[in-house]
Chain A
Amino acid sequence: MMKEASKDIPKRGIFHDRVEVKLQNLTKEFVDKKGKVTVAVNDFSVTIPAGKLIGLLGPSGCGKSTTLYLISGLHKPNSGTIFFGDDDVTNTPPEKRGIGLVFQNYALYPHMTVKQNILFPLENMRVPKAEAQVRAKKMAELVHIGDLMDRKPNQLSGGQQQRVAIARALVKEPRVLLLDEPLSNLDARLRLQTREEIRRIQKETGVTTIFVTHDQEEAMSISDEIIVMNDGLKQQIGHPQDVYEEPINQFVAKFLGNPPINIVPGKLKGEKVVLENGVVIDSGVKQPNQDINIGLRPEYLKLSDKGKIEATVDLVEHIGRDTMLICYINEIGLKIRAIISSERRLTPGEQVKFECSKLFVFNKTTGERYK
C-alpha cells in the first residue's frame, strides 16, 4: 500500500520503498541426474545501491539469470545471504520478498485480459476492488498501455506484452524489480525504444531495478551501474563508462565495446612493450618482464605519421560520422580495428601508421590487468 509519506517526497519516485540489495558470498550449484555438479553462481558478493537501475551483464551461461532467480527467491542458494535493506530474505519465499519479476518470455496469463493480468497480484493480496482498479489503471498509464486493457496477450505485439509484464510486476509496488533479458524478444527498433522506456519507468518509480542481459550495448546505455559476470563469478561492478574505460581484466575489456577491443600479444620489458614484429611502445605499467597481451580499443588508435604501429588497410567501412578501418599489422599479420574520422579517405592496400592514445596491459595467463 502507498504510505502517505511517499506523496510528500516526490523526489523519491512514486514508490515509497527504495532498498539496497546486498548479496553475500552467494553460491548456487546445480546437480544433474548423473550427479555432475555445475556451479552456476560462485561466491558472488555485490551491493546494489537503492533506487538504481543495474544491468547484470555476461555471456550466456555465466550465471546471471541464476543470480536473478536467486534474488527473486525462485531458486534457493546453496550458501550465502541475500539482504533487501536490513532484511535477510535468504529464506523468505518469493511471494513474501516484495519483488516484481518480468520473465524473458513475459509469462502473461494467456487466458486473461491485460487488465486481469495486472489485477491478478492485487487480487491475491486482497486489495479492495476499487483501490485495485485505480492502481491497475495508474500502472497501465505509466507503461502507456491504458488503451489496451481489454485485449488478450496474443492480440498484443512483443513490445506491448513487455509493458504489460512490467505493469503486472510493478502494480504491487515491489521493493525490487527484476527483469530477465527484457529486450531479447524484441526486434532491433523496438529494443531501442523499450530500453529507454525501462529507463523512464525506473526513474519515475524509483524502484531498485536489476535487469539481466547478454547485450553489452543494452546494459551500458541505460544502467546506472553494470555488473559484469563470467563463469559464475563477479568480474566488475561500476558505472558503465568507468568499467569500459578501466576494465579490471581482459574478459571485461573484451566483453564491453563494439567494435570489440584489439588484443595484441607482446613482451613487457621495463616500461616498454615489444610487439612480435619488434615495434616498441610505452606500456605505462611497472611490472616484471613477462609475456603480456595489450588491449587497444578501436578508438584509441590514431592515425599519425609518427605512429609506430604500421599496418596495411584491408577494408574501409563507412559508419556515418566515423570510419572503421580493418587493418593487418605488418609482419605480424594480426587483424586490428580502428575508428577514425571519416574525413580521412583511405583505400584498401594503403599503408597506415597508428599511435595509441591509451592501452591496457593484461597478464597473459590470468587476464588480470596491470595498472
Chain B
Amino acid sequence: MIEYKKDGWRAAIALAPMVFFMLVFTFWPIINAFIWAFLEDFSYGGKGISHGELDGYRWITGGTFIKVGIDNFKTVLTDGLFWDALKNTAIIVIVSVPLTVILGLAIAVGLNSIKRFQGLYQTIFFLPYVTNTIALGMVFATLFHQNYGLVNKVFKNIGFAWINGTTFTGTSEVTFWTALVVLTAYTVWNGLAFKIIVFLSGLQSIDKQYYQAAQIDAAPRWRVFTKITVPLLSPMILYITITSFIGAFKAYSSVIAVFGTGKYGPDGEPNMMITVVGYIYDKMAIGGTPYGVASAASLILFFIILIITMLQLQVSKKRVHY
C-alpha cells in the first residue's frame, strides 16, 4: 500500500528546486513573451513616459507601453527580413532533418551489426557531441573556405568550384546555395552523434528473438530492416524526428559558428543565412522598444513549431507502434 500523502510531500520536496528554476527561467519568460507580444511600444523597465492608467500594469509587464494591440505582429509580418529568415529556416529544416534522421539510422544500424571495434566506432561517432559547437563551426568554415578550404580545393581540382562556403575577408564568391551546403553539412555532422546514440540504444533494446524468428522465416535483410527494425524502432524515430524539427527551427548557433559572430552569412552578405531565431535576437539588440517585436516573432515561431509537431503526431499515429 502506497502512502500517497507522505510520498506526495516527499515528491514535492524533491521537485521543488527544479520547479523553482523552471518557473523563474522558463515559464515566466514564456509568459512574458506572450504578454509583451501584444503590448505596443513596450519599453522594458521604461520610466519617464506617462501612460496613464496602463501604468498600473507595470508589476506584471516590467515596463511601460502605449496600448494593447497587434502592431508588433504587423511589424514582423511586413518585414522582408523576417520572411527571408523564415525561408532560410524552412530550407535548413527541410534539408537537414531528413538527412540527419536517415544518416543517423543508417549509421546506428551499421554500428549495431559490427562486432569488432564497436566501442571504438561508437566513440568516434560520439565525438562531435562532446566537442565545442563553435570550434566545430570554425573547422567547417575553414574546410569550406573559398580560397584555401580543403574541400574547395579538391572540388576545384576536379572541375567544380561551387562549394565556396565561407569567406573571411575580401570579395565573396559565396552564393546562397553554397553557403547552405556548408551549413547543412555542419548541422548534420553536429546533430548526428545524439541521434546515433538514441537509435543504437533503441536497436539494442529490440528483442533478439524477433530477428531469430525473421531468420527462420527466411526474411531477406532489407525486409528485416523495413518490416521489423523500422516499425519496432518507430517510437524512437518519431522522437528523433520531432526533436530534430524543433531543433532545426531554432537554428541559430550553427549560423554563428560557421560564419562568425555578428553576422548571419559570409562577408558582404551579413543576412544571407539569417534564421528566425537570429531575427528575434537582432530585434532585441537594436535600440528603441524592441522586446514587443521580438516577442511577436517568437510567438509566430512557437505556433509554427506547435502546428508542425501536432501534424507529425497526427500523421505518425498510424505508423508508430508502441
Return chain B residues, CB-CB under 8 Å to A279: none
Within 8 A of B (CB), among A29-66: none
With beta carbons under 8 angstroms apart, the residue of A93, A103, A111, A121 that contacts B209 is A103
Within 8 A of B (CB), among A119-177: 120-121, 123-125, 168, 172
Binds B, one of A84-92, A94-102, A235-243, A332-340: A94-102
Given contacts A103-B209, A105-B209, A124-B223, contact A111 B231 (CB under 8 A): yes
Contact with A along B218-250 (1 / 0, CB 8 A): 111001000110011010000000000000000
Report how many residues on chain A are interfacial, defined by Cβ distance under 8 Å: 23
Contact A94 B207 (CB under 8 A): no
Contact B219 A124 (CB under 8 A): yes
Contact A120 B216 (CB under 8 A): no
Contact B217 A124 (CB under 8 A): yes
Contact B223 A95 (CB under 8 A): no
Complex CA distance for A74 and B217, rounded to whole angstroms: 12
State which size class the interface on B falls in. 10 to 19
Contact A103 B220 (CB under 8 A): no
B50, CB-defined interface residue at 8 Å = no
B148, CB-defined interface residue at 8 Å = no
B205, CB-defined interface residue at 8 Å = no
B121, CB-defined interface residue at 8 Å = no
A354, CB-defined interface residue at 8 Å = no
B212, CB-defined interface residue at 8 Å = yes
Contact B212 A74 (CB under 8 A): yes
Return chain A residues, CB-CB under 8 Å to B216: 72, 74, 94-95, 99-101
B213, CB-defined interface residue at 8 Å = yes
The interface centre, meaning the residue of B212, B213, B215, B216 with most chain A CB atoms within 10 A of its CB, is B216
Within 8 A of B (CB), among A315-370: none
Contact A95 B217 (CB under 8 A): yes
B224 to chain A, nearest CB (A): 9
B321, CB-defined interface residue at 8 Å = yes
Return chain B residues, CB-CB under 8 Å to A110: 232, 321
Complex CA distance for A93 and B216, rounded to whole angstroms: 9
Contact B218 A125 (CB under 8 A): yes
A107, CB-defined interface residue at 8 Å = yes
Contact A109 B215 (CB under 8 A): no
Which chain B residue has the least Cβ–Cβ distance from A69?
Answer: B212
B28, CB-defined interface residue at 8 Å = no
Contact A109 B218 (CB under 8 A): no
B177, CB-defined interface residue at 8 Å = no
B230 to chain A, nearest CB (A): 10
Complex CA distance for A110 and B209, rounded to whole angstroms: 12
Complex CA distance for A103 and B215, rounded to whole angstroms: 13
B210, CB-defined interface residue at 8 Å = yes
Contact B217 A168 (CB under 8 A): yes
Contact A107 B231 (CB under 8 A): no
Given contacts A103-B212, A107-B212, contact A120 B219 (CB under 8 A): yes
Return chain B residues, CB-CB under 8 Å to A120: 214, 217, 219, 227
Contact A124 B218 (CB under 8 A): yes
Return chain A residues, CB-CB under 8 Å to B217: 95, 120-121, 124, 168, 172
With beta carbons under 8 angstroms apart, the residue of B209, B218, B219 that contacts A107 is B209
Complex CA distance for A93 and B219, rounded to whole angstroms: 12
Return chain B residues, CB-CB under 8 Å to A107: 207, 209-210, 212-213
Within 8 A of A (CB), among B183-229: 207, 209-210, 212-220, 223, 227-228
Contact B321 A111 (CB under 8 A): yes
Return chain A residues, CB-CB under 8 Å to B214: 120
Complex CA distance for A112 and B223, rounded to whole angstroms: 14
Complex CA distance for A112 and B213, rounded to whole angstroms: 14
Complex CA distance for A72 and B212, rounded to whole angstroms: 10
Return chain B residues, CB-CB under 8 Å to A124: 217-220, 223
Which chain A residue has the least Cβ–Cβ distance from B228?
Answer: A109
Contact A121 B218 (CB under 8 A): yes
Return chain B residues, CB-CB under 8 Å to A168: 217
Contact B213 A101 (CB under 8 A): yes
Complex CA distance for A109 and B213, rounded to whole angstroms: 9
B141 to chain A, nearest CB (A): 44
Return chain B residues, CB-CB under 8 Å to A100: 216
Complex CA distance for A223 and B234, rounded to whole angstroms: 42
Complex CA distance for A22 and B228, rounded to whole angstroms: 33
Return chain B residues, CB-CB under 8 Å to A96: 218
Complex CA distance for A107 and B207, rounded to whole angstroms: 8
Complex CA distance for A79 and B30, rounded to whole angstroms: 69
Contact A95 B215 (CB under 8 A): yes
Return chain B residues, CB-CB under 8 Å to A109: 210, 213, 227-228, 231
A313 to chain B, nearest CB (A): 44
Contact A111 B218 (CB under 8 A): no
Complex CA distance for A322 and B227, rounded to whole angstroms: 55
Q: Which residues of A contact B (CB under 8 A)?
A: 72, 74, 93-96, 99-101, 103, 105, 107, 109-112, 120-121, 123-125, 168, 172
Show 18 residue pairs from A and B whose CB-CB distance is below 8 angstroms, ordered by the A residue. A74-B212, A93-B215, A94-B215, A95-B217, A95-B219, A101-B216, A105-B209, A107-B212, A109-B213, A109-B228, A109-B231, A110-B232, A110-B321, A111-B231, A111-B234, A120-B217, A120-B227, A124-B220
A-B interface, 5 closest residue pairs, ranked by CB to CB distance from nearest: A111-B321, A95-B218, A121-B217, A107-B209, A111-B231
Please name 4 further chain A to chain B contacts, defined as beta carbons within 8 Å, in addition to the given A101-B212, A101-B216, sorted by A numbering.
A74-B212, A96-B218, A120-B217, A124-B219
